[in-house]
Structure 1
Amino acid sequence: MEFLLDDLTSTFSEVPAGVAFLRIVSAVVLAAVIGLERERRKKPAGLRTHILVSVAACLFVILGQEIAALDFGGDAKRVDPLRMIEAVTAGVAFLAAGLIFTSNGEVRNVTTGTSLWLAGAVGLGCGAGQIALAAMATGVVMFVLMLLRQLEKLMGTH
C-alpha cells in the first residue's frame, strides 16, 4: 500500500501528481455546475454525464502532455496539441449529436448537447492548466442557461 501512496505523491514526467489532481478535480467541479443545471431541468445528459465528459477531456490533455515528454528516439516524436483537441471535440460532438432528436417536427435537446460539448472544452481547459479560463467559461454558460432562459420566458419565445 505504501508504494501506491509514493506513486501518488511523486511527479509524472511533465505534470506533478498534485497538479494533475487539481486539474481533474477542477474539471469535476466546473462540469458539475453545468451538469446540475441540466439535471435540475431533467435533461437526458445531467450531472454525471457532464462530469465524465469533462474529466475525460482533462485526462486526454494531461496524458498528451505526458506522452509528449516520452523519448521515442531521434525525430520520432511529433506532437501536435491541436490533434488532441480535435479528437476530444469530435468524440464529444458524437455524444452530443446522439442526444439531439426530432419529435413531432420539433428539434429537442440541442442546448443539452451543446452544454455537453462545452463540458468537454472545460475539461480541456482544466487539463491544460487553464482553470481560470475554464471557470470563466463555466460562469458564462451558467448565465446563458439560467438567466437567458428567464429572458426568453419574458419575451414569450420559450
Structure 2
Amino acid sequence: MLTDMLIRIALAGVLGGLIGMERQMRAKEAGLRTHILVAIGSAMFMLVSKYGFADMLNDQHVSLDPSRIAAQVVSGMGFLGAGTILIQKQVVKGLTTAAGLWVTAAIGLVIGSGMYEIGIYGTVLALVVLEVFRRLSHLLIGKHHTIVVFLKAKSVPLVLLVLQREGIRYGHITVVNRNPETGLCELSVHVTLSHKTKDAHLYEKVMEIKGVQSLELI
C-alpha cells in the first residue's frame, strides 16, 4: 500500500511537470516547479482524505467523508490561480495559466485517488489544448495584442483609419492625456493580428502619420 501511494505522488508530479514545462516554454507566470508542486500537493491531499483517518474509524461517533479535504483543494486553487492573473495596460493576462493550474490540481487529485488512466488521459488532453489548439487559434483567428501609440490627440482617428485599411480587427480603445500642454496622449488599442499581418509593415504605416511619436506592440 505504501509503495502504491509513493507511485501515485511521483506520477502526479510527472504529469503536472509536463503541463508546467509547456507553460515555462511560453514564459508564463507559473512554470515547471509550480505545476509539479501543485500536482504533488493535490495527490497528497487526496491520499490523506482517503486513507489518513483510517485509524479513527473504529471509534464511536466517528464517520469519514473522504471528499471533504479534496473539495477544499478545488476552492483553494482559486487563490493560487488568481496570483497568476495580471492586468497590464487594461489587458488581462494569465487566465490560461490559472486554468492550467486548476487542471493540474484535478490531475493530482485523480492520480491520488488511484485512477491512473483518467489522470494520464486528462494530462494528454490538457497538453493538446495548450499546444495544438493554440496553433489552430493563431492560424484561424490570429494573435491578440495591444498597440500603444504616443501621439498628438488629433492623430488618433488617423491611426484607427490605418488599422481599418490594413484589415486589422480592433476592439477596446483607450485614450489617456499624458501632457495637456503639448497635446500628447497615449492611445491603447486591442487588436487581433492574423499570421498574414507583418509587424514591420504596420509599424511603418502608423509611424508615417503626422503627430505619431512612438509605437509599441504588446
- AA in 2 matched with 1:75: H
Give the Cα separation in 1 of the matches to 2:86 and 2:64: 37
Partner of 2:139: 154
Structural mapping, 1:79-94, within 5 Å: 79-94=64-79
Larger Rg: 2
Map 1:121-140 onto structure 2 (within 5 A). 121-140=106-125
Aligned to 1:75: 61
Matching residue of 1:4: none
**Aligned-pair CA distance for 1:43:** 0.6
**Unmatched 5+ residue regions in structure 1?**
1-15
Per-residue CA shift, 1:40-89, capped at 9, x if unaligned? 0011100000000000000011112222312251122x222332222111
Partner of 2:201: none
Which amino acid in structure 1 is aligned with residue 8 of structure 2? R
Which residue of 1 is the match for residue 31 of structure 2? 46
In terms of fraction of residues, the more helix-rich structure is: 1
Q: TM-score, normalised by structure 2?
A: 0.63
CA offset digits 1:4-28 (Å, max 9, x no partner): xxxxxxxxxxxx1110111011101
Given candidates 77, 87, 91, the residue that maps to 1:106 is 91
Q: What is the CA-CA distance between 1:92 and the residue it aligns to? A: 1.4
Greater relative contact order: 1 or 2 (C-alpha under 8 angstroms, separation 6 or more)?
A: 1
Structure 1 length as normaliser, TM-score?
Answer: 0.85
Structure 1 residue matching 2:30: 3-state secondary structure: coil
Residue identity opposite 2:114 in structure 1: G
Distance, in Å, in 2 between the alignment partners of 1:27 and 1:105 is 36
Cα RMSD (Å) of the superposition?
A: 1.2
- Corresponding residue SS for 2:122: helix
- SS for the counterpart of 1:115 is helix
| Deviation sequence 1:78-114 (CA, Å, 0-9, x none) | 2223322221111112100111121111110000011
Helix, strand or coil at the partner of 1:102: strand
Instruction: Compute the displacement of 1:157 (Å).
Output: 3.2
Partner of 2:78, secondary structure, is helix
For the residue of structure 2 that corresponds to 1:43, the secondary structure is: coil
Q: Which residue number corresponds to residue 22 of structure 2?
A: 37
- CA distance in 2 between counterparts of 1:121 and 1:156 reads 29
- Aligned AA (1:96): G
Q: Which moved more, 1:61-70 or 1:145-154?
A: 61-70
- For 1:46, give the aligned amino acid: G
User: What is the CA distance between 1:131 and its match in structure 2?
Assistant: 1.3
- Provide structure 2 residue ranges, at least 5 long, that are not aligned to the other structure: 144-218
